Amino acid sequence: MKSAGNPLPQVSQNELQAMAYSDALTGLGNRYRLRDKVRLLAAERAQDPAPFTICIANLDGFKPINDLFGAEAGDEILCQVAHRLKACIPDGATVTRHDGDEFAFILPLVFERIGAERIGQMIKDVLSAPYDLGDRNVRLSASFGFAIYPFAGEDFEELLKSAETALYRSKRRGRGQITVYSREIAQEMKRATQLEQALRNAIIADAVDVHFQPIVRISDGGVVGFEALARWIDADLGFVSPAVFVPLAEERGFIDALSETLLRKAAEAALSWPRELFLSFNLSSAQLMDPGTTETILATLARVGLDPYRLELEITETAVMTSADTAQRIITDLRQQGVRISLDDFGTGQSSLGRLRDFTFDKVKIDRAFVSRITTDRASEHIVKAIIAMCDGLNLAVVAEGIEEKADADKLNELGCAMGQGYYYGRPADSAATLRYLQEHYRDFMTIERA
């Protein structure tokens, strides 16, 4: 028996195909349309391979806005992005929604790197204007990865992979970056991936070590504490600078595992020092964005058995400002448990005085850029003198970094700087060498009675 209801509307084959090749939200083409257009263009130019370019653009910071204002607001932004892109792309170009907050372009008349970068800058400027959400405006930036046929690949999959590699490098460099794929970039990314895997394996194998550099009283050279510094020597790669592998761990999202390993090792070593000596340890910007950082640090100290009052955490102004509210809570919670907080690299940020007003610190470390020139550059001397006087007025302890000559130490002592560190007092050394250092120096110079 047939249904008496209205018959279902008939959908033509062309309409079905159009739906399969379209993004329902924005009305742009989707990945399938991108694929087919690239393949068609490559086939047309196969005999005489005139270049063309594809690009992937990713919206920076879209997820936090989506989380904060809701999926409906996020969809509205994506539709506004699509509208802007359709209006600004060159004649003959195609724009598609690639995936989530990513959009892709086919640029048939862009033949080389400079042209790609010029188009990228134009689109970046268009996307950076405020987005209207009715009762509020929001701003976004975008990162770009370009791949030029046939140099970056002769088929769709290879071209797409090259564009994604270029985009990934842009994201690593920060927001709003533009990268055009090259073999050098591919090699750079391959090395970074190999380094990442080696570092992950080293963390699992407990092969990343900690060295310690003494922090002393400048007046008599007495040791008051040590700064923990990461060191990694790989069997194949040799010595890898922490300036390379620590940022890599941040970028690839496993800085927590690395930091927890280093803090555990540093705290275990500190147990064998005189109890009045403190351990200074660096926190990354990623950790100051993670509300779980406080619990992780305190749990590590508890497992090892190191008193939180012996720990001093060094943070930079840049790290504090990455997520100021979360950083403020972490700093407050840790200080309540007895952990001291030191502002590192003071004087190199854009608004360090504001940070001293807005956050509660226990100590300031004067950057080596000023200390290294204190005896030869009058401006550096006056800057250091002013920092010491200001910190004295704010009841903040001061450490001068990068002391390499006796003349530097004498000048700092004359200016009233209480503490310092640098090669003049000792280079970073492993835990065994640090104990030998203490046996030689602590007995002779330290005047504080053992608890």
- 158 occurs within a structural domain: yes
- 450 occurs within a structural domain: no
382 and 242, same structural domain?
yes
299 and 346, same structural domain?
yes
- 2 occurs within a structural domain: no
- 107 occurs within a structural domain: yes
- What are the tens digits of pLDDT across the range 368-386? 888 888 888 888 899 899 9
- What are the tens digits of pLDDT across the range 297-352? 999 999 999 999 999 999 887 777 666 778 889 999 999 999 999 988 776 654 45
123 and 60, same structural domain?
yes
Q: Which residue has the tokens 């705290």?
A: 267
205 and 159, same structural domain?
no
How many other C-beta atoms can be found within 10 angstroms of the C-beta atom of residue 286?
Answer: 20
pLDDT value of residue 448: 38
203 and 139, same structural domain?
no
- 339 occurs within a structural domain: yes
Domain of residue 61: give its range.
Answer: 13-181
402 and 306, same structural domain?
yes
236 and 346, same structural domain?
yes
Q: Which of 154, 181, 208 is the last residue of a domain?
A: 181
pLDDT value of residue 425: 93
- 257 occurs within a structural domain: yes
Which residues in the chain land under pLDDT 70? 1-19, 321-323, 347-358, 443-451
pLDDT value of residue 88: 92
How many other C-beta atoms can be found within 10 angstroms of the C-beta atom of residue 186?
Answer: 16
Q: Which of 140, 159, 181 is the last residue of a domain?
A: 181
Q: Which of 124, 146, 181 is the last residue of a domain?
A: 181
pLDDT value of residue 217: 94
DSSP for 91-142 reads TT-EEEEEETTEEEEEETT--SHHHHHHHHHHHHHHHHS-EE-SS-EE--EE
What's 415's domain CATH number?
Answer: 3.20.20.450
144 and 251, same structural domain?
no
- 47 occurs within a structural domain: yes
208 and 174, same structural domain?
no
Q: Which residue has the tokens 């005489």?
A: 48
pLDDT value of residue 414: 92
pLDDT value of residue 17: 63
pLDDT value of residue 122: 95
How many other C-beta atoms can be found within 10 angstroms of the C-beta atom of residue 430?
Answer: 13
CA–CA separation, 413 and 403 (whole Å): 12
What's 79's domain CATH number?
Answer: 3.30.70.270
CA–CA separation, 239 and 117 (whole Å): 36
Number of domains observed in the structure of the chain: 2
- 451 occurs within a structural domain: no
Output phi, psi for 396, to 5 deg: -110, 135
277 and 166, same structural domain?
no
Which residues have CB under 8 Å from 284's CB, separation 6+?
246, 250, 255, 259, 319
143 and 225, same structural domain?
no
364 and 252, same structural domain?
yes
CA distances to 136, 142, 173, 193, 443 from 72, rounded to whole Å, are 14, 20, 30, 36, 67
**pTM score:** 0.71
CA–CA separation, 389 and 411 (whole Å): 15
